[in-house]
Chains A and B, each alone.
Chain A
């Protein structure tokens, strides 16, 4: 890690952390139903949507009602997206005459976008019509993100309310999240991205004459090159901000029309974690004790920084096998040094490794470099961040509620150790909360491990693997970890657009999303019904550095203990073998 890498990491952290307080405070106002003066401009849109949908925003819902509304809404979105893909050849806005998407791929993509995973088994520019991209994928980008934030808002209300049967109104939370938070931020980002050269057009793909003579797959020189275009900027903005990560083009943010310049790269990278991090402050603010929010943010950042360092340092360190051959891998004015395989020269080592860490920390899953080409430890970092259940910033809303599940477990253990029935934010943590927290924490590792086991055991699963040895195993493990935790990034290398992977990964995404969201809502309902215990000297403080470290310990222990054996057969074995060869 050189001075340049260090500077980039520091600037990266400083910028989004600086945004946490203002953005977090703004979001708290929105979810408490107070629209700040600066956002009044959008109020007619909010009211219009209420009228259009027949929603009474002050009508309160029980947790069951809230959950039912969320599931119903997601199911509708899922079917609509499936239908749109299957019927796109008969619908307008299809200048490139894309055919209907296959049933298994449509199924996978519909779940993927509705669950905010945005795993892509397809290639955007060769599969989807503009209508599918705009009306299907972009819309889901917005609403799946707003859905996660809504669940988070409901959970916060569970902590705040006393002896209440209700936890808010799903439709109001959903609409407010889109109208006041995601829409304005995306609009600003989209314009900035267009200024950097990200395309935004409904025109058909462009054709260009070849300058260099190349040969196509049949050995014939191609007559001309097709350059894919489309309404990309509007989708990319929300893809980054809503921790979605599904690229407009197959190459995702490595594509020059999605991410053309270092500045666009920086903006996209910051927007990856922006909302997820800021929600910590929203949590503290709404809970009436901002220290609680800072504590969770601190816990996330304490896990993030060492992994960020490991990722950047591993990539900058280069490949020990090359070192043995006497290849110069040092950074110098004329070369980036380190492991540049699979990275864009316009981004370099640090921006690629930071992106990899951030996109997996934040459950985003967009990529600007090939994770498959990272060094074993460099590749371990994104995998580890995913396997920590996406609670280090995590998806918008989902990351924080996932972290709160861990906090509940940490509070339980720590509470016992100080000799009291554990309380978090004044609410007693009892067996129902433990049951819900256990389910919520259990689901994604279970999906990831079982999915990997099935794929590794059967021929259809093994067929997709393109690399031998531990690296091939890492590809499968990464794919299932990514889907079960709703990240959506890929190690690539794995040929996943097969009925087998489409179906299995689709199920992993489905369970990984809803079987966490439902226990969280159930917990919110149970917490809302409880009395609030006032604080005393005997109460376990949950904002102190001590508790933060204890929480970090629990998150890391659960993640490490669950995945260490699997990782030992993947990246760890690969690293040790490579290190062994290098020396």
Chain B
């Protein structure tokens, strides 16, 4: 799936044509029963077809040609609604097809005893069960989702993520999870299968994009209830018109009662067919947008919940700051030149492959002109970082023993060598901490040379995103293992609302629980196994694809790009989904006003000619008036399909402004637009009639 979705045009012929065929297949009444609004329309279509046949046989209530026209347009209304749904499904199916290619039957090398040494047995992947152990070697496709229990390998995960750069997968730690369908490029790994066939990540993805297991989300159900309620009201309002009309005719003594054709036309125009026809498409398109953002939601419910999020928990590292700290300046101790400090710092970092270590080398080169040196000439022996010493460094042939590390570790080292830790260096250490930086003391035997100022680099543009979130009413909380002082400084720089310092998995979990107890919805992103409890507790939990199997299982979304900042985009997609539903419902109901003015005078003017005064659109004839309203009602579904698929654009402005704009556009616009539309269709009908 090399991200074809991003580029897929709205009117892709590969989707349009099958969708058109599907639209007819969906006319099956058993299918329509799921959607009460469209079921009513289909019933109306059947009845008007019968009325047309009756008219053809000579006992019709109206001109047979007119009944046929109404009937056809009612059928079109159902077909257009089916088409809308089929197009949305088609977009999903196209993606599913790409994914399925990755699911083709793969042979697996089963290790019956679960040990590396034994001879593997070749079995098809579909025979594997949870708990089985398989060997995957260079060139093999990983048969199932699982956890690496032995070995390390580079894996191409393009089939899932669309990212072709290989990733490292190894046993233990946070990079132990592998996904079925991806390919091992080099080395070998032993994998314990974590799922049964049909439950793999790929299977779930396919189900999701295909909409095969699509269930109505809570909010969608609530809206369906409202739409069903409206349908019942309008059913009553139109059905009772027949006795009302018969009564009126009998009392007025002239005119003819309203025809069933006109009543069905009125009913279909009044019930919320626009939203009823597009509701399924909106939901599917919402999922589709998630997938286009390279996020797989495990349920529609999760997508919807994303729109409701009140609090966003963001890990500092990788989300708010660039993944690593960088050296930004050097502070020399009294009597030590900056150059000699830079020299020592560089020497101690030459073999330090951590991003911090490399940034010191870069700083020394750029600021102090120190170039790479030949370590063999210096006779250097590197001392690696250990958890006990909390220092790393280098011993040189000339007797220098340079160490760098946390201030207290270096202090202990210096004092152990009979030296002292100067007061001005201690002051520098404290100042750096207070500013949110990390001080790294550098010493040579008993002498403290100075401090390297390592700084967390806040990502560009992140401050603006947080301001945007604040306008949306979402609170951001930064999670970090740093001490409170450092955390506060970074929080201030990044513009988050709050922070949790010295965070442990327990602290994270209890923060989520506390927040939820206040009635707020919490979203978070995580990748490690220790994130799993918090992910399971959060309402919207985005697991990183590169994360562990445990994290992926605990979350309800997986970000294939493993980009925690994407939480913000996810929230927007959730909101967009709800907004689109609300806007189209409002539009649909607002449309009804004009339809009354079109149909009521047309239907009852024979009984009470005075009612012609209500024909404010000056529609040509009663027949053209009814037909125009029906045609408008059918065409508006097609017309709004692009909006349903793309979603109403979300802007980060306060709710009150959003409501004002949407009420004006979809409410007032919904009242006015059909007046113009129906009049226009009426003029075209009159023109066609003359021609």
Contact = CB atoms under 8 A, between A and B. Distances in A.
A38 interface: no
Interface stretch (A190-198, A348-356, A565-573): A565-573
B240 A413 contact: no
B119 interface: no
A453 B614 CA distance: 23
Interface in A399-435: 409, 412-421, 426, 429-431, 433-435
A299 B67 CA distance: 43
Interface stretch (A86-94, A507-515, A538-546): A538-546
A431 B243 contact: no
Nearest to B655: A418
Contacts of A536: 310, 473-475
A414 B475 contact: no
Given A534-B520, A561-B237, A569-B608, A434 B244 contact: no
Interface in A527-563: 531-534, 536-541, 544, 546-547, 550, 553, 557-558, 560-563
Contacts of A573: 248, 604, 608, 610-611
Interface in A309-368: none
Contacts of A564: 596, 600
A573 B255 CA distance: 14
B470 interface: yes
A534 B475 CA distance: 12
**Which of B221, B252, B582, B650 is the most central at the interface, judged by chain A CB atoms within 10 Å of its CB?**
B582
B608 to A, nearest CB: 4
Given A457-B247, A553-B667, A534 B659 contact: no
A414 B308 contact: no
A176 to B, nearest CB: 31
Interface in B226-252: 226, 228-229, 232-234, 236-241, 243-248, 251-252
B645 to A, nearest CB: 17
Given A412-B222, A413-B585, A434-B222, A533 B243 contact: no
Given A420-B578, A450-B240, A533-B520, A442 B586 contact: no
A58 B29 CA distance: 54
Contact of A537 (B222, B473, B592, B662): B473
B656 A416 contact: no
Given A446-B236, A450-B236, A419 B650 contact: yes
B589 interface: yes
Nearest to A578: B610
Nearest to A561: B592
A445 interface: yes
B310 A453 contact: no
A452 B243 CA distance: 9
Contacts of B232: 442, 446
B322 to A, nearest CB: 29
A537 B655 contact: yes
Contact of B222 (A430, A452, A539): A430
Given A417-B659, A417-B666, A445-B233, A434 B225 contact: yes
Contact of A417 (B233, B239, B579, B604): B579
A456 interface: yes
The dominant DSSP class at the A interface is helix
Given A431-B218, A441-B229, A473 B244 contact: yes
A485 to B, nearest CB: 15
Interface in A223-260: none
Contacts of B613: 576
A33 B575 CA distance: 42
A537 B471 contact: yes
A566 B659 contact: no
A469 B252 contact: yes
A437 B227 CA distance: 12
Contact of B663 (A409, A434, A470, A546): A546
Given A417-B666, A580-B610, A569 B218 contact: no
A442 B237 CA distance: 11
A284 B596 CA distance: 37
Contacts of B592: 557, 561
Interface in A449-480: 449-450, 452-454, 456-457, 462, 468-470, 472-473
Contacts of B240: 449-450, 452-453, 566
B604 A569 contact: yes
Contacts of B471: 537
B233 A539 contact: no
A264 to B, nearest CB: 40
Contact of A538 (B225, B310, B518, B583): B310
Nearest to A547: B659
A498 interface: no
B236 A541 contact: no
**Which of A430, A453, A457, A538 is the most central at the interface, judged by chain B CB atoms within 10 Å of its CB?**
A538
Contact of A565 (B218, B228, B596): B596
Contacts of B247: 456-457, 462, 473
Contacts of B579: 416-419
A18 interface: no
A577 interface: yes
**Which of A462, A472, A560, A565 is the most central at the interface, judged by chain B CB atoms within 10 Å of its CB?**
A565
B659 A414 contact: yes
A544 B270 contact: no
A532 B519 contact: yes
A261 interface: no
A426 B518 CA distance: 11
A274 to B, nearest CB: 32
B472 interface: yes
Nearest to A409: B226
B653 to A, nearest CB: 9
Nearest to B599: A565
A43 B483 CA distance: 61
B654 A537 contact: yes
A562 to B, nearest CB: 5
B655 A534 contact: no
Nearest to A531: B519
Interface in B400-454: none
Contacts of A544: 656
B574 interface: yes
A438 interface: yes
Contacts of A462: 247
A497 B266 CA distance: 36
Contacts of B575: 418-420
**Which of B239, B247, B600 is the most central at the interface, judged by chain A CB atoms within 10 Å of its CB?**
B247
A424 to B, nearest CB: 13
Contacts of A558: 233
B582 A438 contact: no
Contacts of A426: 519
Contact of A456 (B243, B589, B666): B243
B596 A438 contact: no
Given A416-B579, A457-B243, A534 B518 contact: yes
Contacts of B610: 573, 576-577, 579-580
A538 B226 contact: no
A545 to B, nearest CB: 10
A566 B655 contact: no
29 contacts: A412-B222, A413-B585, A413-B586, A414-B582, A414-B659, A416-B219, A416-B585, A417-B586, A419-B307, A431-B222, A431-B225, A442-B233, A446-B236, A468-B251, A470-B251, A470-B608, A473-B244, A531-B519, A533-B519, A534-B518, A534-B520, A537-B473, A538-B473, A540-B655, A541-B656, A546-B660, A563-B237, A565-B244, A569-B245
Interface of A: 409, 412-421, 426, 429-431, 433-435, 437-439, 441-442, 445-446, 449-450, 452-454, 456-457, 462, 468-470, 472-473, 531-534, 536-541, 544, 546-547, 550, 553, 557-558, 560-566, 568-569, 572-573, 576-577, 579-580
Given A415-B578, A419-B650, A561-B237, 4 more contacts: A416-B219, A416-B581, A533-B520, A536-B474
Would you list the 7 A-B pairs with minimal beta carbon distance, nearest first? A538-B473, A416-B582, A419-B575, A438-B229, A537-B473, A576-B610, A536-B473
